[in-house]
Structure 1
Amino acid sequence: MRDSPTTNGSSRRYVLGSAAAVGLAAVAGCLGNSGILGRVTDDENAVTTGPPTVDRLLPQEYTIEELNEANLSGGPGQDGIPSVDDPQFASSDTPPANLDGGDPVFGVELNGDAKAYPQYNLVWHEIVNDTVGGESVSVTYCPLTGTAQGFYRGESELGVSGRLINSNLVMFDRGTETWWPQILALGIRGPHEGEYLEEFQVIWTTWDRWREQYPETVVLTEDTGHIRNYGDDPYGEYNPRSGYYENENTLFSPLETDDRFPMKAVVIGVRTADGAMAVPKETLRERLVVNGTMSETSYVTVYDGSLDTGYVYRNPDERSVEADGGGVGVDGEPHEPDSLPLEREIGFDAMWFAWYGYYPSTVVHE
């Protein structure tokens, strides 16, 4: 059995500098109702349901028992960090005043519908329950692991459980109260134990980049139903990078460690039936196309300079993939980076320590 992480006296919401104290006090002052939302119904015979699950073969390097033993309190209790359940949006022409062009946003495009979720907003809420392109979804973000991921939620809602594993957000669904570690997308406690959530792609980019590519996008506003000091990140800043996001300190010990890269170096992580892999984002920016294998299956990761992101494809036939101007050539034919004629996998940005902690057998492609 692997050692469980320790807090070393830290708290997830440890104040990173005195300037953050006011913001965190505001959080505590607005959490009087921490009840579970979405479970009360006028029909006493109604059956609450959790999110839809899918059959998936993903690497699982810890038993469910080990994961449960590794869970820690992050500070606030269940729903103590309130999700945004009635999100309000502005057009790209009239974005929130606090949103700078270089600020990170989490971009989603489903069925022709594009939306952006500012990082400075989600750092206070971590989950937005929304509808995009006619699909009921949850857009999720964990500040401590730098992971933004999307999940289909069906008739349920996802909320913040107040627990952490490997420094990573543990979500719960309000229909069945199953626990779901964000990076793993795996139910570890409750009726959906051992099942996987269905995911969709979330792009970590900047506001300027996103609205340039999706001029019809809308963007989440600060009208969340909660009072927060939006624009004042309790962990530091991304524009420019500072505080927790820049230093090598973690508030909680990782499940496993590896010193090949700095703890918070950004990698694009992917897990499939073939295993887990990581591509350092800085390497991808330099090389534009990175090839590698998992379980003897070829994969290729390509860089999209317009959004400063990467896409990962299975390439079992080992087709020739090369950078081609601003696009990508496959067997000599040009394609946009996000639409190669190959099977695309869902990948997402993650801090190296968090990715490796969950997937210590990960294969690194450089």
Structure 2
Amino acid sequence: MNRTRRSMLAGIAAGGALGLPGCVGGGSGREPGGDEGSDGGAASDGGGPPPTVEAEYHVAYEADALVSRSLDGGVGKDGIPSVDDPSFRPIEEVDFARGTPVFGVVRGGAAKAYPRHLLAHHEIVNDVVGGEPVAVTYCPLTGTAQGFRRGDTTFGVSGRLVNSNLIMYDRGTDTWWPQMLATGIDGPLAGETLDEFRVAWTAAEAWADRHPDSLVMTDETGYVRRYESDPYGTYAPLGGYYAQERTAFPPLASPEEGHPKSVVIGARTAAGAVAFDKATLLAERTLTGRVGGSDARVVAVADPGLATGHVYRNPEGLSVESDGDGYRVDGEGGGFAAADLPLEEILAFDAMWFAWAGFYPDTAFVGEHTGAGDGR
């Protein structure tokens, strides 16, 4: 099954899911773009290497195996162009349809939101938030939105995929970075781990309510795209690729249970990985489990306001219970916000179940298996 992303998209369009924008994965089509509301554009040259951290994430495969299993996505290097000079407006000035998905970021006291339908056409936005150079990334095929510190360099779309997941490259060293792994697999920084930060997948109105001073990215990207059309499907209502059981490309491993496109909140440590069913977490507010392949105890709590979740280490097995809009830990401190429990937080993000299980076949799973897109 050696399919390209172009042929996969054509199949979705033929099935009546959605008409394809003419420029997805196509040529440059550039036009001058502004930076209204931005606090700094991305570097124009390759720059130096991106920041990395000493802590390592669990990776179930050798780097050489991941490179050999990578596939040509059919668009070529930078065929899906990153946005390197994004424009913004105050979120209060934008009239989004209710439920419009955005990716929310808070850095250095500044909040920004990146609409999902824009990133479906670009996958990477190189930006500056709160004075810090960052890359906000999105892979439509795996349903993953993640953020990385980028230092003096920028990230681009390599044109290759592994486990259906975007392989990024940094323009300083040309190292390949599968987005979900945040780990280099080929190039000078192979084996290194990127400095990752939290991105919240939420609704525009929820983000605006939580962060009324937030800026939101506009469609003034410097590219001509039919941003009103998603080349893969729709989230409201759920349709196209996002609702189908089939995947675009063969996964590295397939889970025995659950809908491939159900949504999990995944977290990984050096010891292993754990996935919490997102719809189950939002319904029950707290879930407890262990990291796969270890005895490390963890707890996940829901943030109902943003319809997201946070994962914490819980080595002593302290009780965590919902208390109104907040949480009590070990019977004390009622009112802890989901993002502020007195425990060590583990970075976590939304992912399609097939993609998480493909990269982490030894993952622990917590919750009930639910349907495609549940919890979005």
TM (norm. structure 2) is 0.89
Q: CA deviation at 1:12?
A: 6.6
Counterpart secondary structure, 1:28? coil
Distance, in Å, in 2 between the alignment partners of 1:102 and 1:211 is 12
Distance, in Å, in 2 between the alignment partners of 1:88 and 1:40 is 20
Note the alpha carbon deviations across 1:87-139, whole angstroms, 9 max, x for none.
Answer: 100101212x6x32311100001121000000000000000001111111000
Match of 2:83 in 1: 84
Change (3 A) 1:288 1:22: closer
Contact 1:277 1:362 in 2 (8 A): yes
* Equivalent position amino acid for 1:108 in 2: V
Pair 1:167 & 2:164 matched: yes
Change (3 A) 1:124 1:25: closer
Counterpart secondary structure, 2:328? strand
Distance, in Å, in 1 between the alignment partners of 2:166 and 2:349 is 15
Pair 1:155 & 2:156 matched: no
Unaligned runs of 5+ in 1: 1-5, 42-47
Note the alpha carbon deviations across 1:198-245, whole angstroms, 9 max, x for none.
Answer: 100000001011101000001000000000001210111111111111
Note the alpha carbon deviations across 1:136-166, whole angstroms, 9 max, x for none.
Answer: 1000000000000000000000000000000
* Comparing 250-259 and 137-146, the one that deviates more: 250-259
Q: CA deviation at 1:32?
A: 8.3
Contact 2:30 2:223 in 1 (8 A): no
Match of 2:366 in 1: 365
* Equivalent position amino acid for 2:2 in 1: T
Equivalent residue for 2:222, pick from 212, 221, 225: 225
Pair 1:349 & 2:350 matched: yes
Equivalent residue for 1:279, pick from 265, 276, 279: 276
Pair 1:317 & 2:312 matched: no
Note the alpha carbon deviations across 1:51-77, whole angstroms, 9 max, x for none.
Answer: 011112321211111001011011111
* Equivalent position amino acid for 1:352 in 2: W
Equivalent residue for 1:235, pick from 218, 232, 236: 232
Counterpart secondary structure, 1:230? coil
Equivalent residue for 1:24, pick from 22, 25, 42: 22
* Comparing 240-249 and 157-166, the one that deviates more: 240-249
Counterpart secondary structure, 2:174? coil
* Equivalent position amino acid for 1:182 in 2: Q
Contact 2:102 2:113 in 1 (8 A): yes
Runs of 4+ in 1 over 4 A off after TM superposition: 18-22, 37-41
Distance, in Å, in 2 between the alignment partners of 1:11 and 1:82 is 15
Distance, in Å, in 2 between the alignment partners of 1:121 and 1:168 is 18
Match of 2:35 in 1: none
Q: CA deviation at 1:21?
A: 4.9
Aligned residues: 350
Q: CA deviation at 1:285?
A: 1.4
How do residues 1-366 of structure 1 correspond to structure 2 at under 5 angstroms? 6-8=1-3, 11=6, 14-15=9-10, 16-17=12-13, 20-25=18-23, 28-30=26-28, 40=45, 48-95=47-94, 99-294=96-291, 295-332=294-331, 333-334=333-334, 335-366=336-367
Change (3 A) 1:31 1:73: farther
Change (3 A) 1:152 1:12: farther
Percentage of matched positions with identical amino acids? 48
Q: CA deviation at 1:11?
A: 3.9
Unaligned runs of 5+ in 2: 32-41, 368-376
Contact 1:102 1:239 in 2 (8 A): yes
Distance, in Å, in 2 between the alignment partners of 1:107 and 1:232 is 21
Counterpart secondary structure, 1:65? helix
* Equivalent position amino acid for 1:143 in 2: P
Change (3 A) 1:26 1:65: closer
Contact 2:135 2:154 in 1 (8 A): yes
Distance, in Å, in 2 between the alignment partners of 1:199 and 1:181 is 13
Q: CA deviation at 1:259?
A: 2.9
Change (3 A) 1:57 1:319: same
Note the alpha carbon deviations across 1:16-38, whole angstroms, 9 max, x for none.
Answer: 225755513465253589xxx96
Contact 2:29 2:223 in 1 (8 A): no
TM (norm. structure 1) is 0.91
